Chain A
Amino acid sequence: MKINKKLAACLAFPVICLIGLTVYKSVKVAAGKEIIIPIAGYDPRDLISGHYLNFRLDLNNDTICEDENYNQPRVYVCLRQTENNGISSNITGDASPEPGCDAVLKGGCEYGIFSAGIERFYIPEEYAAELDRIIRKGSGKVVLSIDRKGKAVIKDLLIDGRPWQDYINK
């Protein structure tokens, strides 16, 4: 059979790109600094990827997006893990951690609300309503992996301190 190199390359290209994307995401999840943050949220639906929780990070600090940061597209927040997976935070200048910071999270402020671009957690359709209800009661936390540039990826969702799948199965 005559080998059509061009066609083979064009078929391999998307597969290689998608495998590369998967590897990149896996490395980001595995290699970053782990930190746990409380959340509050609601449940919309994504056309391609399905149901997800749309939440807001509860950083225990109402001043992050005040005054000159009210609509600031880029802010850095120093995070400190406290007892019982609580969190305390303050604004910092850049992604380099200050002394006492467990991690620095990069995000932005829009109309006084902080967002790190990760406020989405995909959940199975059949659990959407229940998880949404639980999160709204304030029982939810997310486990983030944050790299040295302040970019975060989500590792897991915790309900009452346990992975959400364990909570649902119980």
Chain B
Amino acid sequence: MIKINRHLVEWMDNGLISRDQHDSILSYEKSKSKGERTRWILYGFLILGICVLAAGIISLIAANWDEIPASGKLAGNFIILIITAAACYKVYGGGSDALSDALMSFFSLLCLASIGLISQVYHTGGELYQAVLLWIIITFPLSSFSRRDFLPHVWSAGSILAYLLWAFSKSSWWYSLDRYFEQDIILCILLTVPLLTFILHMTFRSISSLSGYSGAFAIWSIIASAAAIGATDYYYSADYSNLFPKMLLPVYILMVLSILILKFLSGYSQKERSIIFSIIIITMLVHLPNFIVAVSNIYEYGKFIGALYTVILLVLIGMIFTIRENKKLFNTIMLLLGCRFLIIYFQVFRDLATTGLGLIISGILIIAIALLWFKEHNRIEEWFGEIVK
């Protein structure tokens, strides 16, 4: 509302609209947004209430009431499940999106509770990831009926959780490489998450009926990328690398898949695709020396490699937010960049005087690069665009 008001005042001051037009537009927007605000507040509280209720039910089941025989527990569970499914069917399309989504969320979480109950009654010895995987499979068709995006968000969170639980379990491929899940394996697993979520985001985006999932995976991709960048920086800052090619193979396969998807599936502007392509290529290059024994000792300078990688990637991510005109996120990136610069100098120099000198030089460099970019960015963007085309 504040943004619209500011624009309207500016337009009125420049004679584009009259006072009456200003007042009627403002009055219309106020009435619309008031209704919308009330609705999303209600939606938020309903969803919160549903999640707390479902957590309470799961907790009750987990207490394992011995007084109720197993057949009674199962029968009661399925009766509640069927009643809830019937309620979802009745309410859907009835005019209240919030109530419909709340009921579907409750049903979805009840399915998870049911899996827990069956596991408890029959003492199944499976891993937690198998329960979550079963849950996401059986609730996937229903998630697409969500009126807002809550269920797809929950579903996407569940699928990432299932993957991570599997990746860190004894059944995972990673376990066969390193049974103790040392930091090398943890880094490799963390590197796969942003790539997987990006691939899923682009795939769902290309299917119109499943576009709700695309947004959810986009958000997870950004969060996972931040975690992966931080993990890479932290890992190489120890000035050595214990990674070997087999560990990184899934990461590189996913990188190649991501590049292919970026090339053949639409959805981003040429500028954005160029930047995402650069992020993937730079990440490939940073880890590449692990494949080449002769240069793998490059990680004796891992502190610099980690820092340079983080700085470059933060700049590229900042560029994406600039293109999307998201000032808040861009400023957040700039803040992180500033903090990382500070850390670099403390890592390398340790005393304030040399740190100060280094920061002054860096500041001058940043200003010079920013001015150069401002002058030549069209040419650079065209060059990237040719590569990604």
Contact = CB atoms under 8 A, between A and B. Distances in A.
Interface of A: 4, 7-15, 17-19, 21-22, 25-26, 29, 45-52, 110, 117-125, 127, 153-154, 165
B225 interface: no
Nearest to B60: A50
Interface in B30-67: 58, 61-66
B66 A127 contact: yes
Interface string B105-149: 001000111111111111111101001001001110110110000
Q: When A and B form their complex, which 4 residue pairs have the shortest distance between CB atoms, in order from nearest?
A: A50-B62, A48-B116, A14-B138, A10-B141
A48 B74 contact: no
B78 A19 contact: yes
B308 interface: no
Contacts of A154: 122-123
A47 B111 CA distance: 15
Contacts of A29: 122
Contacts of A48: 58, 62, 112-113, 115-116, 119, 128, 131
B62 A49 contact: yes
B333 interface: no
A9 B85 CA distance: 11
Task: Indicate the member of B122, B134, B138, B145 with the most A CB atoms within 10 Å.
Answer: B122
B63 A124 contact: yes
Nearest to B114: A18
B384 to A, nearest CB: 43
Contacts of A7: 88-89, 92, 145
A9 B140 CA distance: 12
Interface residues of B toward A: which range?
35 or more
A18 B64 contact: no
B125 A120 contact: yes
Contact of A124 (B64, B115, B117): B64
A127 B66 CA distance: 10
A46 B61 CA distance: 11
Contacts of B131: 48
6 contacts: A17-B138, A22-B118, A48-B131, A50-B62, A117-B126, A122-B121
B219 interface: no
A73 to B, nearest CB: 10
A124 to B, nearest CB: 4
Contact of B88 (A11, A19, A45, A51): A11
B65 A14 contact: no
B369 interface: no
Given A48-B128, A50-B61, A165-B66, A14 B111 contact: yes
Contacts of A125: 62-64
B141 A122 contact: no
Given A4-B89, A18-B138, 9 more contacts: A9-B141, A14-B107, A14-B111, A17-B138, A22-B74, A48-B128, A50-B62, A50-B116, A124-B63
B122 A15 contact: no
Nearest to A155: B123
B85 A12 contact: yes
B281 interface: no
A134 to B, nearest CB: 16
A8 B118 contact: no
A21 to B, nearest CB: 6
B122 A153 contact: yes
B123 A121 contact: yes
B65 A124 contact: yes
A124 B66 contact: yes
Contacts of B137: 17
Contacts of A22: 74, 78, 118
B93 interface: yes
Report which residue of B112, B114, B120, B123 has the largest number of chain A beta carbons within 10 angstroms of its beta carbon.
B123
